[in-house]
Structure 1
Amino acid sequence: MMERELHRGTGLLWIETINSNPNGNPDQDSEPRQRSDERGEISPVSFKHKVRELVAYKEGPIWKEISAELGIEPSEMGHYDILEQKETKRSEVKRLSSQEFLDRYWDARVFGSTFLEGKIKDEAIAADNPQAGTFIHTGVVQFGLGLSLSPIEVERLTTTKVLPAEEGKGKGMAPLAFRVVPYGLYLMPFFVNATMAGKTQCTYRDIQLLLRMIPYAYEATASYIRPQVNIRHAYYVEHAKARGCYNDFKIIEALTPDLLIPADAVARSIKDYDVEAVEQRIARLNQEMKGKAGPVIDLMEV
């Protein structure tokens, strides 16, 4: 039985942050990322890392349940390894052919890899055919920058902890180490580009695995500094054809909520956004996309 053809997809994540740091900036002592206009940021790399964690953790309930739902057999586990993780042995990767590389690493098929580009070029040169090494390493799925709709505030607290008994020492102090955003609603677009699927050998099931993992990206990887970062909505539209049949930007625009407060004011909760208007726009969008794309679905409710 042949696997379904992969079509273009357009998505938008509503990432809600409450008293948490959704993405620290290593250049600023892990301060929540913030632009010059004081709007918050979440990097695409940060989000993809959390999805990779869930796929890599084969003993976890998320992988076990979702892989079973998708019909991934235990014998196929080696087809869903993760390249971008600490456990990966680069010396082992270098011994793989480009085909073995693609057969093994799910994230390389989905997100792409500069490592893959180098391997294919090396193989082409070795075969005395440099032209065959021309390969765009961009993956099938691209996540955009997550950006808060309103400016964010950052609260900083000094934390303490009781250290093991040691002569002359008491509590440990971390001045202003706990840096969090009291509230922020970030929007992160993502796109499935079926045109690249042939080059990375990404399949429909590879993308279905990603879409099933997205709702748990923050919930299942929560930490001390990220106790309340969750995806409120994960909207997704599958186009009727591989090349795409409807304007991505019109979809994103329809799924973006309007502020009910001044643009330069700091939002304090979801009530500061016109959520009902988005629901109305979705109904209109579904009518406009008939025959061109499927209806808007919310991955959080699938």
Structure 2
Amino acid sequence: MTTLANRYDIVFLFEVTNGNPNGDPDAGNLPRIDPETNHGLVTDVSLKRKIRNYVELAKGAEPGYRIYVQEGSILNERHREAYKAKRPGDAKVDKEKKLNPQSDDEARAVTGFMCENFFDVRTFGAVMSTGINAGQVRGPVQLAFASSVEPIMPMEITITRMAATTEKEKADRDKEDGEGRTENRTMGRKYIVPYGLYRAHIFVNASLAGRTGFSEADMQLLFEALANMFEHDRSAARGEMTARKIIAFKHGSTLGNAPAHRLFDAVKVLRSVDGDSYDPASRRLDNLPPPRRFADYEVAIDRAAIPDQVEVLEIL
């Protein structure tokens, strides 16, 4: 495969409707939020999980596209596979609880095996020095937290369940209250964001791609995953999540031709109301109706601010 030769900086826009895009377990699974601005947050870890899940679905067990960080997997056993490949016939490899490379060449070979066989290792990197030492990899693809374009208003929704869990619970609920009524429902709560448009920035370092073997084909698979990962991640808790825009800046060189922030600043997400556009970052929107769909926004690219050496790719 052809190793990636061009740096990329990517703006990724996605939306949630009546769902919780990324609950915070330390806050009762409330949607993550910046307490100072009330802008919603989605962690990089959450987005990487969805990318991994899509690649696993799309590629299955195809060589070179296995997933390292996988539900139920034992990471040290993944590392042991690398030692088995590099030390064929060595019985100790199957038994030892700790393994370390015997030379610098073997260290590079073991780490290289992990990059070659696991898509997420050569993409995002990994710390693989957990007992059976397969080294550390700094991945070429890094994601920042996604933040909602505007403040969000999380809602707490009360839900009920008609069925009981145990005989005792059913008996307790069937007891009459003082007015002769029975309560036969179990109460619960869930949290939703009525609507939120989120923006994430993604950085692809071509110099690091050369070290891990991240290829042009891997880059295209990453774009495919971003565009389709929500289609295969449906759940009642997450509501409707949809990828809306992928705007990639392809640099004309390995090191890049412009600072990432300058390119990101060229992409404006504006509120669109009755044909007029408003910048949420510079104008208060208190008197405007709350956004409830992607059509309430307009995405504008200031192409004059982008150097000639940088190509703008609208993937979605």
Quote how far apart the aligned CAs of 1:193 are.
Answer: 0.6
Partner amino acid, structure 2, of 1:215:
A
Question: Where does structure 1 differ by over 3 angstroms across 4 or more consecutive aligned residues?
Answer: 119-123, 164-168, 261-267, 269-273
Partner amino acid, structure 2, of 1:295:
V
CA distance in 2, matches of 1:208, 1:3: 12
Say which one has the larger Rg: 2
Distance 1:253 1:94, change over 3 A: same
Quote how far apart the aligned CAs of 1:272 are.
Answer: 4.9
Distance 1:161 1:210, change over 3 A: same
> Aligned residues, how many?
262
Q: Check if 1:159 corresponds to 2:169.
A: no
Give the conservation status (yes or no) of the 8 Å contact 2:147–2:198. Answer: yes
Quote how far apart the aligned CAs of 1:138 are.
Answer: 2.5
CA distance in 2, matches of 1:230, 1:89: 32
Quote how far apart the aligned CAs of 1:89 are.
Answer: 2.6
User: 1:207 maps to what in 2?
Assistant: 219
Q: Check if 1:111 corresponds to 2:124.
A: yes
Q: Check if 1:249 corresponds to 2:261.
A: yes
User: 2:5 maps to what in 1?
Assistant: 6
Give the conservation status (yes or no) of the 8 Å contact 1:144–1:190. Answer: yes
CA distance in 1, matches of 2:53, 2:18: 23
Distance 1:196 1:119, change over 3 A: farther
Q: How does 1:87-126 map to 2 (within 5 A)?
A: 87-95=72-80, 96=82, 97-115=110-128, 118=129, 122=133
Distance 1:196 1:121, change over 3 A: farther
Quote how far apart the aligned CAs of 1:40 are.
Answer: 0.6
User: 2:103 maps to what in 1?
Assistant: none
Give the conservation status (yes or no) of the 8 Å contact 1:44–1:145. Answer: yes
CA distance in 1, matches of 2:249, 2:284: 28
- Residues 201-260 of structure 1 show CA distances to partners (whole Å, capped at 9, x for unaligned) of 222212211111111121221111112111111111211111111221122111131342
Distance 1:263 1:46, change over 3 A: farther
User: 1:141 maps to what in 2?
Assistant: 141
CA distance in 2, matches of 1:121, 1:148: 40
Partner amino acid, structure 2, of 1:55:
V
Distance 1:112 1:91, change over 3 A: closer
Quote how far apart the aligned CAs of 1:93 are.
Answer: 1.6
User: 2:238 maps to what in 1?
Assistant: 226
Quote how far apart the aligned CAs of 1:172 are.
Answer: 5.5
Which residue, out of 291, 294, 298, partners 2:311?
A: 294
Distance 1:172 1:201, change over 3 A: farther
User: 1:24 maps to what in 2?
Assistant: 23
Give the conservation status (yes or no) of the 8 Å contact 1:81–1:105. Answer: yes
Partner amino acid, structure 2, of 1:268:
P
Give the conservation status (yes or no) of the 8 Å contact 2:69–2:75. Answer: no
Quote how far apart the aligned CAs of 1:158 are.
Answer: 1.4
Q: As a proportion of its length, which structure holds more helix?
A: 1
Structure 1: gaps (5+ residues): 58-62, 68-73, 124-132
- Residues 88-108 of structure 1 show CA distances to partners (whole Å, capped at 9, x for unaligned) of 232422312222212211000
Q: How does 1:254-269 map to 2 (within 5 A)?
A: 254-259=266-271, 260=278, 262-263=283-284, 265=286, 267-269=290-292
Give the conservation status (yes or no) of the 8 Å contact 1:83–1:105. Answer: yes
